[in-house]
Structure 1
Amino acid sequence: MKHTRTAALAALSLAAALSLTACGGDDSSSDSSAKGSSSSSSAGSSSGSDSKPESGSGSGSSEAGDTKSDAAKNTGSGAAAAKGATKTSGKVTFCKTEDLAIDAQDAAPDESTGRINVTMINRGSTTCSATGFAGVDIKDEDNTSNPIERGQAQPRITNLKPGDAAVFNLAYDIDSSGKSLASPTELQVTPPNETHTVNIKWPAGAGDIKGAYTDVQVYPTHTTK
């Protein structure tokens, strides 16, 4: 009888132990599920975070587009402003070739520096602008024409009332060796902002050009007053 009670107590102890083990397994499983849920939530949150830069990128593209659009508008308004400024200060139109009397003279200051002064007189009935660089080609005795490069100078406002004159200069070095290969016969002059050209004779007595025609430079117009 005593043996039977002892066996029964042992069985109860074993059952209790098994029950505790089972409970511990459930807790572990629950912890695992919670961790899995937490990991899944973190992954979802991370994925959502990754999607924000894409949205931001899209927003950035839109801002860049707006910036370009604004730049285009500014450029347009700048161009319009420039036109407005031209109209405001530009009631004076550019001188037409047909209204200008053009002549060239030797104006060398010494024996080594060549200079040609080209004078343009406004023979029109209204004030006009001769501001800028004239286009100049030198025609050689072999009938070839050579364009002249611009010198380093800033144009000055050159408005001409009827009868007023503007002058621009050609500058070069004089060849005193007697072996110059340049034989100029004419200047082909196109006034600033014009397309019509006039031919005038190379000034008598002007010194020989040293080097090539590309060594001659033209400077912007200025008034004689």
Structure 2
Amino acid sequence: MSGNRRKAFLVSAALVGCTMLMTACQDTNSGASQGSSPAASSDASAAGGGKDSAAKGSDGQGTPAGTGSNENGKIGKCRTDELKVTAKDGTVTGDADGTVAVELKNGSGRDCAMSGYAGVDLKTNAGSLSAKRTGEKADSIVLKDGKSVFFGVHYPVNTSGGSGVRITGLVVTPPDETKSVTLNWPGAGSLPVTQGTDSPVKVGPLGSAGQGG
């Protein structure tokens, strides 16, 4: 082989080798570029997870706190200041005794609980007269907001023809409360004069007068 032909062959081999080397470099760069896609997708997934976490409640469980209508999920007792207390004559014609129906209406904006008997005192011209319980079973109740419960106050009718003991007012203390409400007395104006210390006035448990008295 002549010297010129040998030089031409070496130059051609060098060009081919360089071309192959450049192709390999391009393939390497292309692989590196494709390899970056999974990382970007992972970042997007992480960002999405952050949004999901932010959408959850403050307790991290997706449930808002403090959604109960009563504190700590418990129903508190009915307070005197949260009740509208009224009374009306509930005497039925033919009954031996007179009856006053007392209404306790829940205006607290929440449900409340009560049970047993209310305290009842009659104000008279001879002093205060406390009603005695009838002894009927007293159930516990949950009084819904805006709803009422009734109980009865029973007293002897004055048929003696005399003035008797004049009633001037009615004092009601809701169950388990110490604050009272004083109302006008809607029943008969007087009680018969009785002997002894037992009160002739009786009070029934919550619900004893029936809805509406």
Query: Which bin holds the TM-score, normalised by the shorter protein?
Result: 0.5 to 0.7
- TM norm structure 1: 0.54
Counterpart of 1:4 in structure 2 is: none
The CA distance in 2 between the partners of 1:110 and 1:207, in whole Å, is 17
Q: What is the Cα deviation at residue 181 of structure 1?
A: 2.1
- Equivalent residues of 1:106, 1:117 under 8 A apart: yes
Is 1:167–2:154 an aligned residue pair? no
1:149 aligns with 2:132: yes
The aligned residue for residue 89 of structure 2 is 106
Q: 1:94 to 1:116 in 2, by over 3 A?
A: same
Runs of 4+ in 1 over 6 A off after TM superposition: none
* Pair 1:119 & 2:94 matched: no
8 Å contact from structure 1 (residues 114, 207) kept in 2? no
**2:163 & 2:152 partners in 1: Cα distance?**
21
Which residue of the other structure, out of 170, 184, 195, is the alignment partner of 1:187?
Answer: 170
Q: Which has the higher helix share?
A: 1
Specify the alignment match of 1:135 in structure 2: 119
**How far is the alpha carbon of 1:180 from its aligned partner?**
4.8
Task: Provide the rounded CA distance (Å) in 2 between the counterparts of 1:119 and 1:98.
Answer: 14
The alignment yields a C-alpha RMSD, in angstroms, of: 2.2
Decide whether aligned partners of structure 1 residues 115 and 187 sit closer, same or farther in structure 2, where only a CA change above 3 A counts.
Answer: same
Q: Is the 8 A contact 2:158 2:164 kept in 1?
A: no
Q: Matched residues in 2 for 1:178 and 1:103: separation?
A: 30
Instruction: Determine the C-alpha separation between the residues in 2 that align with 1:119 and 1:128.
Output: 15
Tell me the residue number matched to 2:204.
219
Gaps of at least 5 residues in structure 2 are 1-72
Q: Secondary structure at the match of 2:81?
A: helix
Q: Which runs of 5+ in 1 are unaligned?
A: 1-89
Give the conservation status (yes or no) of the 8 Å contact 1:140–1:185.
yes
Please identify, of 208-217 and 132-141, the stretch whose mean Cα deviation from structure 2 is larger: 208-217
Q: Describe the shift of the 1:211–1:110 C-alpha distance in structure 2 as closer, same or farther (beyond 3 A).
A: farther
Q: Aligned letter for 1:148? A: A
Please give the alpha-carbon distance, in whole angstroms, between the structure 2 residues aligned to 1:146 and 1:113.
17
Work out whether residues 116 and 170 of structure 1, in 8 Å CA contact, stay in contact via their aligned partners in 2. Answer: yes
- How many residues are matched? 134
Query: 1:108·1:206 contact (CA, 8 Å) conserved in 2?
Result: no
Q: Would you say the 8 A contact 1:131–1:158 is kept in 2?
A: yes
Does 2:182 correspond to 1:210? no
